[in-house]
Amino acid sequence: MQRLRVFISSVQSEFSEERETLYRHIENDPFLKVYFEAILFEKLPASSNSAEKIYLNEVKNADVFIVLIGNEYGSINEDGVSATELEFDTALTARVDALAFIKEKPLGTIHSKEKLFLKKVENHVTYKRFDETFDLIQEVNRAFVAHLQQTGFLLTTAFDATVHPTANMSDIDTEMVNDFMDIAVERRNFPFRRGNSIKKVLTHLNLLSSSDKIGNSALLAFSDNPQKFFPSAIVKCAHFHGYNVEKPIPNHQIIKGSIFEQVSEAVDFVLAKISVSVGVRDKGIQAPIAYEIPRAVITEVIVNAIAHRDYMSNGSVEVWLFKDRLEVRNPGHLPKELSIEKLEHDHSSFPYNPNLAEVLYQAGLIERFGTGTTEIIRLTERAGLQKPDFNTSEGFKVIIWRLSHNQNDTSNFTAHDTAHDTAHDTAHDTAHDDTNNSVLKVAYVNLFELTDRVVWIMKSEMSREELMEKLDLKHRQNFSISYLEPTLKSGLVEMTIPNKPKSKLQKYKLTAKGTKLQKKLKIDYKSND
């Protein structure tokens, strides 16, 4: 078997140690040397051709291109371009699979041209960061194994297509499958209806083998406890009051359950922590509430993370809310066909977990055509938020910027973190009108207390479902614990059938105390009109 040629590119003087170590590792590692051959310019035989022609020809003929990025830009040619950047551009043009490794804490100040080159690299290829040479070797090992799997040199069965060795039909929750069918019939005209054979449904979704073995993705979607089989298949949520990760963490939650439960509960976790406001001037006092980051944006980002994460990893999906941003990260990586630049435009779909993605598609949570990241960009723009950032240095991360970041001067932003002292403060901002995208002035009454949100939207007698719909919430248990029960305990709302709290006919209405608070909230609103 002919080995794959790996061209190692960098500023030689800055990465002399790393280049030599990486070269020796590829050539001497018992596994890697079977598949790969390392190419260093300084180890090539002498030639009468120009140095530039030699190294660019080597890049064109390579199967894998590795570039190391640090502070130095390197010597430049007559066009002002360094050899490393020329090699990188050639690799992209020649469609050589490119991998970038960025020095985490290089010494000295980064060259201005290196900053521009770094941005180009981050936008075009998957990259990882490293600190020590040992870290670089570890990242290269992972990248090489992934490359061999993607190119078919290592024939492995993906997690998504693998059946679980011990699971059986008793681990599938029948009611969860029936609920899924109800939604899928409505949203995608799914061919099976509630009451159909569960085996037929799972087989149709490629989640059940011909010998009735349960696929991994079937457990993630339809088991009431998938963490029994995959402990790391969770979502970790954390809310930080400042701009960085700092202890103690004021509010954190580990979300388990099926992928559908994880999505709804994680989205509702974020909604409860961000600012919610009411009152477009021309819509009157009963104007609907509006979240600082629209629910559709939050849902799209979290669904993407859960659908495309690497479930073989011990890492988990993480949802971190800071004062100025929302970060959602997952232990996955972009396929070699995509780059960050391509994510910002229409692109083909390359799902990391195609069977799981199909389930989410049928449930109406994702599309089949690679529209996830472009939809995130479109929705944030329509909401008047700054363009989101995508990052592949540690798994895959999406950053959604909050209004406080857009305003630059955060002193004028009343954050949820300090809102309990000023629950009824008001602010003025702008928003995009959904019909013509014209900018209108919006008067805000910021409802930071979750009980205030329930009181604000309460009209006459309302059911639990009606309240959740008005607040744009999906997770029933979270609504009960975080919204409804505190409002009942505080005496702001009461049951219409108090002696039968679990009655299907149960509704809720404002008490005298709640009516008084609602009037106060409306007065606050009017005073800002």
Same domain, 405 and 280: yes
- Percentage of residues in the chain with pLDDT exceeding 90? 60
Residues 143 and 166 placed together within one structural domain of the fold: no
- Mean pLDDT throughout 128-150? 87
- Average pLDDT value for residue range 303-315: 90
Burial classification of residue 248, based on how many CB atoms lie within 10 Å of its CB (0-12 exposed, 13-18 middle, 19 or more buried): exposed
pLDDT tens figures, 467-495 = 999 999 988 888 999 999 999 999 999 99
Report pTM.
Answer: 0.71
CA 37 to chain centre: 36
Looking at the fold, whether 394 and 482 belong to one and the same domain comes out as no
What per-residue confidence (pLDDT) applies to 427?
32
Asked if the structure places residue 157 within a domain, the reply is: no
Q: Which of 97-111, 157-171, 184-198, 283-297 has the lowest mean pLDDT?
A: 283-297
Our count of domains for the chain comes to 4
Q: Are residues 244 and 380 in the same domain?
A: yes
Q: 175-220, pLDDT tens digit by residue?
A: 999 999 999 999 999 999 999 999 999 999 999 987 889 999 999 9
Q: Would 244 be classed as within a structural domain? A: yes
Mean pLDDT over 432-461 rounds to: 68
Which of the four pLDDT bands, split at 50, 70 and 90, describes residue 434? very low
Is 14 in a helix, a strand, or coil?
coil
Helix axes 464-471, 450-457, angle to 10 degrees: 110
Task: Indicate if 202 and 94 belong to the same structural domain.
Answer: no
Which of 77-91, 173-187, 239-253, 333-347 has the least mean pLDDT?
Answer: 333-347
Q: Which residue has the higher pLDDT, 219 or 125?
A: 219
With 0-12 / 13-18 / 19 or more C-beta atoms within 10 angstroms meaning exposed / middle / buried, residue 17 is exposed
- pLDDT value, residue 412: 36
Question: Helix (H, G, I), strand (E, B), or coil: what is residue 355?
Answer: helix
Say whether pLDDT at 438 is over 60.
no
Convert 143-158 to b/e letters by CB count within 10 Å (16 or more is b). Answer: bbbbbbeeeeeeeeee
Residue 429 lies in a domain: no
CATH number of the domain to which 473 belongs = 1.10.10.10
Residues 265 and 119 in one domain: no
Provide the mean pLDDT of the chain.
Answer: 85
pLDDT of residue 404: 65
Q: Do 270 and 309 reside in the same domain of the chain?
A: yes
User: Exposed (0-12), middle (13-18) or buried (19+): which is 391, by Cβ within 10 Å?
Assistant: middle
The fraction of the chain above a pLDDT of 70, given in percent, is: 87
Q: Is 80 exceeded by the pLDDT of residue 293?
A: yes
The residue among 124 and 525 whose pLDDT is bigger is 124
CB atoms within 10 A of CB 359: 25
Domain at 271, CATH number = 3.30.565.60
Q: Which of 81-85, 109-113, 288-292 has the lowest mean pLDDT?
A: 288-292
Report whether 429 contacts 403 (CB < 8 A).
yes
Q: 52 lies in which domain range?
A: 4-150
Average pLDDT for 489-511 = 95
- pLDDT tens, residue by residue, 324-346: 999 999 998 777 677 777 787 77
Whether 220 and 243 map to the same domain: the answer is: no
Task: Name the domain boundary from 150, 185, 206.
Answer: 150
Which is it for strands 426-432 and 439-445: parallel, antiparallel or unpaired? antiparallel
Strand 389-391, strand 426-432: pairing: unpaired
- What is the pLDDT, as a whole number, of residue 350? 73
pLDDT for position 466? 94
Give tens-digit pLDDT for 378-431.
989 988 899 999 988 778 899 999 986 655 443 333 333 433 333 333 333 333
For the cut 90, the answer to whether the pLDDT of residue 48 exceeds it is: no
Residues 17 and 111 in one domain: yes
Per-residue pLDDT for 499 more than 60?
yes
Q: 271 and 256 share a domain?
A: yes
pLDDT of residue 513: 97
292 and 338 share one domain: yes
